[in-house]
Amino acid sequence: MVDLAAMVTSTLESERRSFNAVLMLANSVRKVKTVAEILPKDLKLNVLSSQTRVVEALHDAEIDASLLEESLTSQGLGVLNHVHDLVLQAIGEGNLTSGERLLVVLAEPLDGVIVVDTSNLNSNRFAALAQDYSIDLEILTKMMQLARQIGSRGREGHAVGALFALGALPALRKHTTALVLNPFKGHAAEKRSILDEANHETLAEFAWLDGAILFNREGIASDAGRYIQVPAGITPKPGEGGRHLAARAISQLVDGIAVCVSSSGTITVYANGRNRYRVKLN
């Protein structure tokens, strides 16, 4: 049986550089408390769990904890990709900065420790994308969060896909046509912002419509159910489906970014017609 506390202690003692924070993924209150007891008092611990009872018990113990929508138990090794996205999200929200070192403690679905140097993550790639296309990094990370929610949860037990296009709206609309009446028309901007997680459920509902959701550079959804007009010169690559082709095309036609969620659980970010980032959820 793995002695998780001993692994954490050994890592803290053997690493020459100090850590800025500890992130723990766990569905066991006992394991969290065991690790918390051996951590230096000045090292902040944040726990992510997919069980409400665990989060509530940790709050009672005055340990910072948050609830994950996705089940930790069912992820297997896919939890490693999940950690990567969570760190990117934390950077986008300003809770971590590039260059900080994070000790990740896994207690579910497997036991182990990972040392994460944020300067070596794809966050640099995200930051470069944000800078190149004049988009706030937090908008990209929130869009990835929504994409992850859709890709991992599906709808009514069935896997689904989605497509987001982000950029200058006149250019996006020029290369797309409406498949349905625009459900966002007439609604306040704050109700359509991807930055507010309270809007994610609504955005997810409209993401399941055929076509794409269009966002401006501030992360405000403007249109849903838009069909992307793929020019004859842009042809499918081997094994590429229609949604990925559309995402690649719009990112090439418009000075912007497209995020494609496939029904197989893969999220791909396109810019300038190229795949710039990909993560497999399962």
* Whether residue 117 is found in the same domain as residue 169: no
Judged by average pLDDT, the poorest of 58-62, 78-82, 89-93, 175-179 is: 89-93
Q: What is the pLDDT of residue 194?
A: 96
* Whether residue 129 is found in the same domain as residue 248: yes
Q: Which of 121, 153, 175 finishes a domain?
A: 121
This prediction has a pTM of 0.61
* Whether residue 111 is found in the same domain as residue 139: no
Q: Which of 101, 121, 141 finishes a domain?
A: 121
* Whether residue 109 is found in the same domain as residue 142: no
pLDDT band, residue 159 (cuts 50/70/90): low
* Whether residue 50 is found in the same domain as residue 96: yes
Is 221 a residue whose pLDDT tops 90?
yes
Range of the domain at 90: 4-121
CATH of the domain at 226: 3.40.1700.10
- Mean pLDDT for the chain overall: 85
CATH of the domain at 112: 3.40.1380.20
* Whether residue 65 is found in the same domain as residue 174: no
Structural domain count of the chain: 2
* Whether residue 131 is found in the same domain as residue 114: no
* Whether residue 78 is found in the same domain as residue 139: no
* Whether residue 165 is found in the same domain as residue 181: yes
Is 266 a residue whose pLDDT tops 70?
yes
pLDDT band, residue 120 (cuts 50/70/90): low
Q: What is the pLDDT of residue 208?
A: 84
DSSP the chain: ---HHHHHHHHHHH-SSPPSEEEEE-S-HHHHHHHHHHS-TTS-EEEEES-HHHHHHHHHTT--EEE-SS-STTTGGGHHHHHHHHHHHHHHTTSS-TT-EEEEEE-SSS-EEEEEEGGGSTHHHHHHHHHHTT--HHHHHHHHHHHHHHHHH-BTTB---EEEEES-HHHHHHTEEESS--TTTT--GGGTBTTSGGGHHHHHHHHTSSSEEEE-TTSBEEEEEEEE---TT--PPTT--HHHHHHHHHHHHSSSEEEEE-TTSEEEEEETTEEEEEEE--
Judged by average pLDDT, the poorest of 107-116, 151-160, 187-196, 215-224 is: 151-160
